[in-house]
Amino acid sequence: MTCYQRESLKLVGIGDDRLVSLGSQEIWELETLYFSPPTALTGCDSPNANRWLQHLILLNSSLTEVKQTKRIYISRRLTACRRIVNEDEIEQHLQRYGFDTYLLEEMSFCDQVSLFHQAEIVVSSHGSGLTNLMFSQPGTQVLEVFEPEILRTCFWSLSESLGQDYWYVLGESRKNFPEPDIYLDSEKLLQTLTQMLKAKP
């Protein structure tokens, strides 16, 4: 079991004393098995389920009354795909708008929960790190970067279910395996950010 799995289970009230690790060669026969099925198909979030989980984790993290003060850019430079190939240029522009860069691979689960809960604006190319939008507050602005060959609706659905303000911008594909990387035109990014900030209540 990974550290983030243990941390997340602890935040919903399941501590190490209630966990049993099974060896890879073990076979167990259970009298009764309880399990949690998916609450909805990917891209069709259940607002009630998401809000319940969000409330439970934020309550146990003592993050129920935290102000949104951070503008965060999530870098995928340590991953194998969907990296922004001109990231240095993009980061320079984002810094002028008050953004800080974060590598989620270097953060604990609890620190990721805290970071996203404090976020005013989140910018990231598509990737699993955006699952942390589960812990962002209503009204958080989200800008997801895609390359045009692969568009997915899962984080739009998550954002909508939690009352966040979702935007996306398309870059250009750059060949890579297993999925393309992305070249993001800085002018297109800045135009979208300007529109987002104007639309913010």
Examine the pLDDT at 109 and tell me if it is beyond 80: yes
pLDDT tens column, 56-107: 999 999 887 788 999 999 999 999 999 999 999 999 999 999 999 999 999 9
Bridge-based pairing state of the strands 172-174 and 181-183: antiparallel
pLDDT at residue 65 in the model: 73
Domain regions of the chain by residue span:
68-199
Architecture of domain 68-199: 3-Layer(aba) Sandwich (3.40)
pTM assigned to the model? 0.91
| Tokens coding 103 | 């590598």
d(CA 50, CA 88): 35
d(CA 154, CA 42): 6
